[in-house]
């Protein structure tokens, strides 16, 4: 038995990597489901009430109860929808989000995919994510869904423009698209949040808009569009959109941590390697709570206001940030 393993080291390696990938996948989904509980508890806290606190310790079992409920709901496909697209859309929503998580370097030894253009792949997949809601909105064949789908298309396309630009400053500083390299650069030279503060502001705004979280949840604005692009969805297909959104928050938190807050690096990681994951998880948790805080405090802007904020404020801001960083990098290169 052992001989066989020794004879096929590549096979063993890929087996270990597969197991790691599955673990990361499962943890991501579980954390995303747990986010629902966290969100409801935190919203409760900030609205001076309790939130779900009955099922299990601290109400943690609420997620399980919700899951059981949503699994047993009728998986209804309305007769007027475009069936194939209708079914594919939620799969894209959740699948792409999980696929993007493969790029996140969790700790020095953990992380599914190590791609040397990881950041580009992330931006490309984030661009594809728009198809989920667009197709879902179109296939539903209802006016609310279509309006929601159109809104999300315009919103995502607008905000993705400067999401990429706002990250180029980091790429310039680190000299690489490799997410692992970016984390190692930050561990050596300090977190990117300080030199790239404006890039950070623009990126977080864009990230919220791209995963269409409140305050940028115009595609699913309840007061105007019923439930927006997922009006016609029910049961587990709705659940996939829902969990996809929460995976999106976890993902955006993880990416922000990796790009601006030094990923797994932190005090004590050099001497105690096991601290890498706690640091990463802690930073992610802070961002996840931060996104919930945004939801708790900020109202939804009007659609034209959101577009204006994107094109007239955030895009110039990220361009200025890009030029400023470039100037500093060039000056540094010439000075040295």
Partner 1 sequence: MPGYLPPEKRSPLQQLGDILWGVYTQLRTIVMIFSHTFRKRDVIPYPEVKPYMPPRYRGRIVLTRDPDGDERCVACNLCAVACPVGCISLQKTERPEDGRWYPEWFRINFSRCIFCGLCEEACPTTAIQLTPDYELAEYKRQSLVYEKEDLLISGTGKYPDYNFYRVAGMSIEGKPKGAAEKESAPVDIKSLLP
Binding residues (CB under 8 A) for partner 1: these are 45-50, 53, 293-294, 296-298, 313
Handedness of CA 125, 103, 229, 84 (dihedral sign): positive
Element (H, E) at 216: none
Closest to partner 1 by CB, 313 or 329: 313
Rounded Cα distance, 43 and 294, in Å: 10
**What b/e readout covers 120-145, taking b as 16+ CB neighbours within 10 angstroms?**
ebbbebbbebbbbbbbbbbbbbbebb
Q: Angle between the 235-260 and 197-210 helix axes, to the nearest 10 degrees?
A: 170
Tokens of 247: 């995976």
Min dist CB 309 to partner 1, Å, is 9
Closest to partner 1 by CB, 53 or 142: 53
List Cβ neighbours of 32 (8 Å cut-off, separation of 6 or more): 243, 246, 247, 249, 250
Min dist CB 145 to partner 1, Å, is 30
Closest to partner 1 by CB, 200 or 238: 200
Closest to partner 1 by CB, 159 or 280: 159
Min dist CB 182 to partner 1, Å, is 27
Closest to partner 1 by CB, 175 or 316: 316
Tokens of 285: 């948790």
Closest to partner 1 by CB, 157 or 296: 296
Rounded Cα distance, 237 and 181, in Å: 37
Task: Concatenate the DSSP letters of all residues of 108-119 into one string.
Answer: SS--S---TTHH
- Map residue 54 onto helix, strand or coil: coil
Give the CA diameter of the chain: 68
Min dist CB 24 to partner 1, Å, is 31
Min dist CB 208 to partner 1, Å, is 12
Min dist CB 54 to partner 1, Å, is 9
Closest to partner 1 by CB, 19 or 298: 298
Min dist CB 49 to partner 1, Å, is 5
């Amino acid at each position: 038995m052992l001989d066989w393993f020794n004879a096929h080291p590549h096979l063993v390696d890929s087996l270990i990597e597969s197991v790691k990938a599955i673990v990361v996948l499962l943890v991501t989904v579980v954390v995303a489901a747990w986010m629902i509980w966290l969100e409801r508890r935190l919203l409760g806290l900030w609205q001076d009430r309790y939130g779900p606190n009955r099922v299990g310790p601290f109400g943690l079992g609420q997620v399980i109860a919700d899951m059981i409920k949503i699994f047993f709901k009728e998986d209804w496909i309305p007769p007027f929808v475009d069936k194939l697209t209708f079914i594919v859309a939620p799969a894209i929503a959740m699948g792409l989000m999980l696929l993007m998580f493969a790029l996140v370097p969790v700790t020095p030894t953990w992380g599914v995919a190590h791609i040397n253009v990881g950041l580009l792949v992330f931006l490309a997949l984030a661009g594809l994510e728009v198809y989920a809601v667009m197709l879902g909105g179109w296939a539903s064949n209802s006016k609310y869904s279509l309006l929601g789908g159109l809104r999300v298309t315009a919103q995502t396309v607008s905000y993705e423009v400067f999401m990429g630009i706002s990250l180029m400053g980091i790429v310039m500083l680190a000299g690489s698209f490799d997410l692992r390299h970016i984390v190692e650069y930050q561990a050596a030279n300090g977190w990117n949040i300080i030199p790239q503060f404006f890039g950070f502001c623009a990126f977080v705004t864009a990230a919220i808009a791209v995963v269409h979280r409140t305050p940028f949840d115009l595609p699913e604005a309840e007061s105007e569009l019923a439930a927006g692009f997922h009006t016609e969805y029910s049961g587990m297909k709705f659940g996939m959109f829902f969990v996809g959104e929460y995976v999106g928050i976890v993902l955006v938190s993880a990416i922000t941590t990796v790009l601006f807050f030094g990923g797994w690096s932190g005090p004590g990681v050099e001497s105690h390697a096991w601290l890498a994951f706690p640091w990463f998880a802690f930073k992610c948790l802070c961002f996840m709570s931060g996104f919930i805080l945004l939801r708790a405090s900020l109202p939804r802007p009007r659609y034209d206001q959101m577009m204006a904020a994107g094109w007239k404020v955030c895009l110039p801001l990220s361009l200025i940030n890009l030029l400023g960083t470039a100037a500093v990098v060039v000056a540094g290169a010439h000075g040295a």
